[in-house]
Amino acid sequence: MPPTSPPPSSTPQRILDVAERLVQTQGFNGFSYADIASELHVTKASLHYHFATKAALGTELIARYHDTFQRALDGIDADERDARRKLRRYVDLYAGVLRKDRLCLCGMLASDFATLPRPMKDAVRRFFDLNERWVARVLEEGRKARTVRLGGAAAEVARTLVAALEGAMLVARSYGDVSRFEAALERLVTPLVTRQRS
First to last CA, the chain: 60
Identify the CATH class of 8-192.
mainly alpha
- Its pTM stands at 0.89
Residue 69 or 194, more confident = 69
Mean pLDDT of the chain: 91
**CA gap 198, 196 in Å, rounded:** 6
The answer on pLDDT for 72 being more than 50 is: yes
Q: What is the DSSP letter of 148?
A: B
Domains in the chain: boundaries? 8-192
Mean pLDDT of 159-185: 92
Could you tell me which of 133, 151, 145 has the C-alpha nearest to residue 83?
A: 145
Mean pLDDT of 83-112: 94
**CA gap 165, 155 in Å, rounded:** 15
Q: What are phi and psi of 193, to 5 degrees?
A: -95, 145
The answer on pLDDT for 46 being more than 60 is: yes
Give the tens place of pLDDT for each residue, 33-44.
999 999 999 999
Range scoring the smallest mean pLDDT among 11-15, 171-175, 189-193 = 189-193
DSSP E strand stretches across the chain: none
Q: Which amino acid is at 144?
A: K
The answer on pLDDT for 5 being more than 70 is: no
Give the tens place of pLDDT for each residue, 110-136.
999 999 999 999 999 999 999 999 999
**CA gap 135, 77 in Å, rounded:** 11
From residue 121, alpha-carbon distances to 12, 36, 104, 105 in Å are: 22, 22, 15, 13
